[in-house]
Chains A and B, each alone.
Chain A
Amino acid sequence: MAEQKLTGIYFCDTGNGHAKDIDINEIKTYLQTLREVVSVWEPKELDLTNFEETKKKLENLKIERMIIAGQTPGVFKAFFARALNANGKNGEEVVLASFKEHLVVNTQQAKTILTCAFYGVSFTLAAMPEETEVHPDTLVIGGGIAGIQASLEIADAGQKVYLLEKTGTIGGHMAMFDKTFPTLDCAACILTPKMVEVGQHANIEMLTYSEVKSVSGGPGNYKVKVLKKARRVNVNTCIGCGTCAEKCPGRASSEFDAGTTMRKAIYIPFAQAVPNKYLIDEDACLYVKKGKCSACVKVCPVPDCINLDEKDAEIEITVGNIIVSTGFKPFDAKRAEQFGYGRFPNVVTSLELERLINAGGPTSGEITFRSKDKFGNWVFTADSESPKSVAIVHCVGSRDEHYNKYCSTVCCMYSLKLAHLVKEKLPETEVHEYYIDMRAFGKGYEEFYNRIKDEGINVVRGSTVKVEEEDGKLLVKSQDIHGLKLLKQHVDMVVLAVGLEPREETKDLSQILGVSTTEDGWFKELSSVTDPVNTNVGGVAVAGVCHGPKDIPDTVAQASAAASRVIQSIIQGKIKKSVKDMRFEEVAAKAKQQS
């Protein structure tokens, strides 16, 4: 340990003062226990307007070094350097302990920062969490594009991955999309080969139709209890023939088709699902609900494949790292009543339009009006008429104090993409877009925006306030800001560009894992600039939209980054403990040791 010099400490109160949870008196008492600290001053005890007096005080106490603590200590650095110089000491011995820089909000943190400053040790070095051994297996929670990408990266590096997915198939939201912006590549053509790879990879064990129940243990050695919900169909023996679904009388709205069509109670989520096996929706199955009907069991060609009485099971796995990639849910357009979603059948959400445009969707790629089927459900069918005019309304549920204040980042671009796709399918149809600000932020996005404007799409700056029904058409009310014109546009179909929201389960999962979330409910990274994948819990990384709205390229990039962190820890065989578990005494002892 290096020799310490006689030290004076000054608390400045500039820069909005101290946080209310910082107890200056407690810190003072603590600092005075350090042998070389000769005096601790608060602003009221030291008159900085009187240089001579301060200089004399420092001289009398033989102070050789000054520590300035507070929100903006740098302001006083020159003053104390001058005073030390005038006393014949080294003017460079002024140390800053900035509360603002280290985001100090309570007494413990303030004490830590001051201790590090006292021992002349960088806080980041002293506060480095300890390392512990790591189990080589990894759990990825969420089987969307982020989870798939992260799993493949880790599995290709030769390590075992459990990929947990809540629904019956991996794929997530990306599987529902028709095209990706700005290149207009087919989303399924990119995603499905990756899904198949996951299904066949020797190092990946898929846990579909499962949920995380509890997590115990610590970084490097997590014991995870997984609830395997009853699928009621044997994944190993089901041949995916579909005879059961033909005979099944139970019906429910199709999740994969965003509610644009109906599916049976025994179903395969979509044609390219992985695993491509049937499962039973217990909310729609007549046997589960009423105890009657077992039509599927009777027609199934494989013996003992369907077991209607199967119960939920629980398994426990041990993993060293966890990647959270649980994704998002689209904003519920019914909450924005002014746009009439749910009241007017031809007000649709962007996800519904996406399914209509998709060749594998309910209308085989025809954009048509919503109609009632023989059971009275609102669905889309190919034999309905097509709209002659379409309006796309941006920022539904985003950038609005009534719903979500944040920008969902992807809506501008996917709206432009949808406008292009509508124009491609129905060249005679007018397309109007109403936006607040056009956020074409990524590589090639601005070029894409310019291309769309050249395609004859009417892109209007000015938000839509209301959608009404008039003479059998929909009336969209807005103002053209650039042309200073009030617009009342009659259209056949209105598309609401809904934003992204955290899933309800995010809250539970954040409690199970101990990962903090932001005010909006997204998972919080350790540092948005320097560490955007790790969290405050050691061995838990985030990837994809569950960390905040982002587009597919960014999601894939973050998933790869998260995977690289996991691979790094497995190769080293060590993992850092959680930052949040660090205690003041630990850091102080380390700082003393390192000085």
Chain B
Amino acid sequence: MTTRVDPGFMKKVKGLGDQNMEMCFNCSKCTAICPMDTNLLPRSLFRYALLGMTDKIKAEQESIYSCLLCKLCEESCPRGVKIADNVRLLRSYLNRDVFNI
């Protein structure tokens, strides 16, 4: 299966508000502490977003909405990524561009 990437994706997301996903250096502390016990949240999700893998993001809607915004991950993040805000931003992207709300 080929993966399509949308190089303009992050531009669209940035237009919706402040984000700092680029700060992530892939240590996966966030995924390990996440109470949802998914392999996706939040590190992999940000990787998909940064690469512009829109199909993946659309397919993982459930996970994006399952985030509790509890900020446990933010507390242990060594790079100060505003994880909850970034997830909110991805949600508003989905709301606008996918569900046309």
Smallest CB separation, A594 vs chain B (Å): 48
Among the stretches B7-15, B21-29, B62-70, B92-100, the one at the interface with A is B21-29
> Which of A401, A462, A463, A464 counts the most chain B CB atoms within 10 A?
A463
CA distance A486 to B32 in the complex (A): 6
Encoded as 1 (CB less than 8 Å from any A CB) or 0, chain B from 15 to 52 comes to: 00000000001111111110001010001100000000
- Whether A462 and B79, one on each chain, are in contact in the complex, defined by CB atoms closer than 8 angstroms, is no
Q: Is the interface of B mostly helix, strand, loop or mixed?
A: loop
A464: which B residues are within 8 A, CB to CB? 29, 32
Selected contact of B25 from candidates A436, A485, A486, CB within 8 Å: A436
Smallest CB separation, A345 vs chain B (Å): 24
With A479-B39, A484-B39 in contact, do A402 and B28 touch (Cβ < 8 Å)? no
B37: which A residues are within 8 A, CB to CB? 486
CA distance A578 to B76 in the complex (A): 44
- Whether B33 and A399, one on each chain, are in contact in the complex, defined by CB atoms closer than 8 angstroms, is no
A486: which B residues are within 8 A, CB to CB? 31-32, 37, 39
A481: Cβ under 8 A from any B Cβ: yes
**Which residues of A, 416-448, contact B by the 8 Å Cβ criterion?**
436-437
> Which of B32, B78, B80 counts the most chain A CB atoms within 10 A?
B32
A465: which B residues are within 8 A, CB to CB? 29-30, 32-33, 76
CA distance A462 to B43 in the complex (A): 11
With A402-B78, A485-B39 in contact, do A436 and B31 touch (Cβ < 8 Å)? no
A373: Cβ under 8 A from any B Cβ: no
A478: Cβ under 8 A from any B Cβ: yes
A511: Cβ under 8 A from any B Cβ: no
CA distance A35 to B35 in the complex (A): 74
- Whether B78 and A481, one on each chain, are in contact in the complex, defined by CB atoms closer than 8 angstroms, is no
- Whether B32 and A462, one on each chain, are in contact in the complex, defined by CB atoms closer than 8 angstroms, is yes
How many residues of chain B have a CB within 8 Å of chain A? Answer: 18
Nearest residue, chain A, Cβ from B80: A401
- Whether A463 and B39, one on each chain, are in contact in the complex, defined by CB atoms closer than 8 angstroms, is no
A478: which B residues are within 8 A, CB to CB? 28-29, 32
CA distance A466 to B32 in the complex (A): 8
- Whether A401 and B78, one on each chain, are in contact in the complex, defined by CB atoms closer than 8 angstroms, is yes
A477: which B residues are within 8 A, CB to CB? 32-33
Encoded as 1 (CB less than 8 Å from any B CB) or 0, chain A from 477 to 505 comes to: 11101001111000000000000000000
CA distance A401 to B44 in the complex (A): 21
CA distance A499 to B27 in the complex (A): 17
CA distance A587 to B30 in the complex (A): 54
Selected contact of B27 from candidates A338, A402, A436, CB within 8 Å: A436
Nearest residue, chain B, Cβ from A463: B27
A469: Cβ under 8 A from any B Cβ: no
- Whether B32 and A338, one on each chain, are in contact in the complex, defined by CB atoms closer than 8 angstroms, is no
Nearest residue, chain B, Cβ from A398: B78
CA distance A463 to B26 in the complex (A): 9
> Which of B28, B30, B31, B33 counts the most chain A CB atoms within 10 A?
B28
A131: Cβ under 8 A from any B Cβ: no
A466: which B residues are within 8 A, CB to CB? 32-33, 76
Smallest CB separation, A77 vs chain B (Å): 35
CA distance A401 to B78 in the complex (A): 5
Nearest residue, chain B, Cβ from A399: B78
Smallest CB separation, B94 vs chain A (Å): 23
Encoded as 1 (CB less than 8 Å from any B CB) or 0, chain A from 255 to 279 comes to: 0000000000000000000000000
B30: which A residues are within 8 A, CB to CB? 465
21 A-B residue pairings within 8 Å (CB atoms): A395-B78, A399-B25, A399-B78, A436-B25, A436-B26, A462-B32, A463-B29, A463-B78, A464-B29, A464-B32, A465-B76, A466-B32, A466-B33, A479-B28, A479-B31, A479-B32, A479-B39, A479-B43, A481-B28, A486-B37, A486-B39
Q: Which residues of B are at the interface with A, using a C-beta cutoff of 8 A?
A: 25-33, 37, 39, 43-44, 76-80
Rank and list the top 4 A-B pairs by shortest CB-CB distance, nearest first.
A400-B78, A463-B27, A479-B28, A465-B29
Q: Which residues of A are at the interface with B, using a C-beta cutoff of 8 A?
A: 338, 395, 399-402, 436-437, 462-466, 477-479, 481, 484-487
Given contacts A395-B78, A462-B27, A478-B28, 18 further A-B contacts (CB under 8 A): A338-B76, A395-B27, A399-B25, A401-B77, A401-B79, A401-B80, A462-B28, A462-B32, A464-B32, A465-B30, A465-B32, A465-B33, A466-B32, A478-B32, A479-B32, A484-B39, A485-B39, A486-B31
